[in-house]
Amino acid sequence: MSQTGREHRAEIACQRAVTVAMLMLAAMLAACGDDGPTKPAWEGRSCGGGPGQPPNDCPDRDAGFCDYEISSTCNTKEGIGVCRVRPESCSSECVEVCGCDDWAYCNECAAHRAGVDIRGKRNPGTLNCPDLPPQ
């Protein structure tokens, strides 16, 4: 079945419209970039640095935590870290760790999600901490 002149022109117009739309989309993506989610300005900022400092002294405590360079130094004068964004979800694997707030968490990610770094794995006799953080 052959096309009429009118059908042929309509098909060409449709192809051009699709091409223009694809070029516009490509230009918009290039202009906006695809760098993923925008990181907060405070992420990577220095935090910690002394006894008496709160376990999380990052500017946005509801969204971040202080990731200490050496976990065992949290809340000490040597304890310096950087602000990190809290994870949105964690695995259910439970190895039990002690947080810098002296409470036990199921794993490192769970502590980070609660807004604290960890001191180490929970081990009665050497590194002990209560079972659950306060609500």
- Which token pair is 63? 């969204």
First to last CA, the chain: 74
Q: What is the pLDDT of residues 83-102, one digit of tens each?
A: 999 999 999 888 888 888 88
Nearest to 44 by CA among 28, 32, 59: 59
> Tens of pLDDT along 19-45?
766 767 766 666 665 555 678 889 998
**Are residues 73 and 79 in contact, defined by beta-carbon separation less than 8 angstroms?**
yes
pTM above 0.85, yes or no: no
